[in-house]
Amino acid sequence: MSDKPAVYAEGITRTFGDVKALDGMDLVVQRGQVVGLLGPNGAGKTTMVRILSTLLRPTGGHAEVAGFDVVKEANQVRRMIGLTGQFAAVDEYLTGRENLRMFGDLFHLTPAYVKARSEELLTSFDLDDAADRPVRTYSGGMRRRLDLAASLIARPEILFLDEPTTGLDPRSRLGMWQVINDLVADGTTVLLTTQYLEEADQLAQNIVVIDHGHVIAHGTAEQLKDQIGGDRIEVTVHDDATAERAARAMESVISGHPLIEGNKISAPVSGGSMVLVGAIRALDLAKIEITDIMLRRPTLDDVFMSLTGHLAEDETQRPEPTRRRGVRRR
Amino acid sequence: MSAITVGRPVALRRPIYGWALHDGFVVARRNLIQTLRVPELLFFSLVQPVIFVLLFAYVFGGAIPIPGDGASPADAANAYRQYLMPGIFGQTVAFAAAASTVGLAEDMSRGIIDRFRALPMSPSAVLLGRTFADAVRQILVLAVLSITGLLVGWRINNGLFSALLAYALLLFFAYTVAWVGAWIGLSVPNPETANTAGLAWLFPLTFLSNAFVPISSMPDWLQPIAAYNPISTLVLATRELFGNPTGIQPHYWSLDHAVLYTLISCAVLIGIFAPLAVRKYRNATSR
Summarize pLDDT for B75-112 with one digit per residue, the tens. Answer: 777 788 888 899 999 999 999 899 999 999 998 888 88
A183, A199, A225 — which closes off a domain? A225
More confident residue, B262 or A320: B262
Q: Does residue A77 sit within a domain?
A: yes
Whether A60 and A185 map to the same domain: the answer is yes
CA distance B149 to B5: 57
Q: Does residue A304 sit within a domain?
A: no
From chain B, pick out residues whose CB is under 8 angstroms from the CB of A50.
285, 287
Residue A313: C-alpha distances to residues A38, A41, A305 (Å)? 11, 8, 10
Contacts of A84 (CB under 8 A, 6+ apart): A144, A147, A148, A151, A159, A160, A161, A162, A164
More confident residue, B58 or A133: A133
Q: Which residues 117-136 of A have a C-beta within 8 angstroms of B?
A: 117, 120, 124, 134
Tell me if B30 and A91 make a contact (CB, 8 A cut-off): yes
Lowest mean pLDDT among A128-132, A320-324, B61-65: A320-324
- Provide the strand spans (E) within chain B: 285-286
CB A240 within 8 A of CB A262: yes
CB A191 within 8 A of CB A9: no
Q: Does residue A308 sit within a domain?
A: no
Please state whether beta strands A259-261 and A232-237 pair in parallel, antiparallel, or not at all (unpaired).
unpaired
| CB atoms closer than 10 angstroms to residue B53 | 23
pTM of the predicted model as reported, rounded to 2 decimal places: 0.81
* Burial group, residue A241, by CB count within 10 angstroms (0-12, 13-18, 19+): exposed
Whether A75 and A199 map to the same domain: the answer is yes
Tell me if A112 and B112 make a contact (CB, 8 A cut-off): no
Whether A68 and A94 map to the same domain: the answer is yes
Tell me if A329 and B284 make a contact (CB, 8 A cut-off): yes
Residue A229: the pLDDT is 67
Edge-to-edge strand list for the sheet holding A189-194: A81-84, A158-162, A189-194, A34-38, A206-211, A214-219
Whether A64 and A155 map to the same domain: the answer is yes
Asked whether the predicted pLDDT for residue A137 surpasses 50, the reply is yes
Q: Does residue A284 sit within a domain?
A: yes
| CB atoms closer than 10 angstroms to residue B75 | 11
Q: Does residue A37 sit within a domain?
A: yes
DSSP string, A207-225: EEEEETTEEEEEE-HHHHH
Q: Does residue A53 sit within a domain?
A: yes
Whether A18 and A105 map to the same domain: the answer is yes
CA distance B81 to B153: 7
Summarize pLDDT for A19-60 with one digit per residue, the tens. Answer: 899 999 999 999 989 999 988 888 899 999 999 999 999 999
Q: Look at residue B73 and give its three-state secondary structure.
A: helix
Rounded to a whole number of angstroms, the distance from the CA of B272 to the nearest CA of chain A is: 20
Tell me if B33 and A94 make a contact (CB, 8 A cut-off): yes
Summarize pLDDT for B253-267 with one digit per residue, the tens. Answer: 999 999 999 999 999
CB pairs under 8 A between A and B: 136
Q: What is the DSSP letter of B13?
A: P
A173, A190, A225 — which closes off a domain? A225
> A20: part of which helix (H) or strand (E)?
strand A19-29
CB B84 within 8 A of CB B53: yes
More confident residue, A89 or B6: A89
ipTM value for the complex: 0.86
Residue A35: the pLDDT is 93
Q: Could you tell me the CATH number of the domain that includes residue A151?
A: 3.40.50.300
Phi, psi of B199 (to 5 degrees): -100, -25
Asked whether the predicted pLDDT for residue A323 surpasses 50, the reply is no
Torsion of the alpha carbons at A236, A237, A238 and A239, rounded to the nearest 10:
-100
CA distance A161 to A183: 12
Phi, psi of B232 (to 5 degrees): -60, -45
Residue A319: the pLDDT is 39
Whether A236 and A108 map to the same domain: the answer is no
Q: Could you tell me the CATH number of the domain that includes residue A267?
A: 3.30.70
CA distance B225 to A200: 65
Whether A23 and A47 map to the same domain: the answer is yes
Q: What percent of chain A has pLDDT over 70?
A: 91
Q: Does residue A314 sit within a domain?
A: no
Residue A312: the pLDDT is 53
Residue A4: the pLDDT is 85
CA distance A42 to A22: 10
- Structure confidence at residue B126 as a pLDDT band (50, 70, 90): very high
Whether A170 and A61 map to the same domain: the answer is yes
Domain span including residue A74: 7-225
Q: What is the DSSP letter of B62?
A: G
CB A107 within 8 A of CB B22: no
Residue A111: the pLDDT is 93
Whether A85 and A192 map to the same domain: the answer is yes
- Structure confidence at residue A2 as a pLDDT band (50, 70, 90): low
A169, A194, A225 — which closes off a domain? A225
Whether A155 and A275 map to the same domain: the answer is no
> A327: part of which helix (H) or strand (E)?
strand A327-328
Tell me if A108 and B11 make a contact (CB, 8 A cut-off): yes
Q: Does residue A302 sit within a domain?
A: no
> A296: part of which helix (H) or strand (E)?
strand A290-296
Residue A327: C-alpha distances to residues A21, A193, A252 (Å)? 17, 22, 62
Whether A249 and A216 map to the same domain: the answer is no
Rounded to a whole number of angstroms, the distance from the CA of A35 to the nearest CA of chain B is: 20
Residue B65: the pLDDT is 67
Q: What is the mean pLDDT of chain A?
A: 85
Q: Look at residue A21 and give its three-state secondary structure.
A: strand
Is A113 in the B-facing interface, judged by CB distances under 8 Å? Answer: yes
- pLDDT mean over A116-120: 94
- pLDDT mean over A268-296: 86
Lowest mean pLDDT among A93-102, A220-229, A289-298, B248-257: A220-229
- pLDDT mean over A214-243: 83
Whether A91 and A135 map to the same domain: the answer is yes
How many domains does chain A contain in total?
2
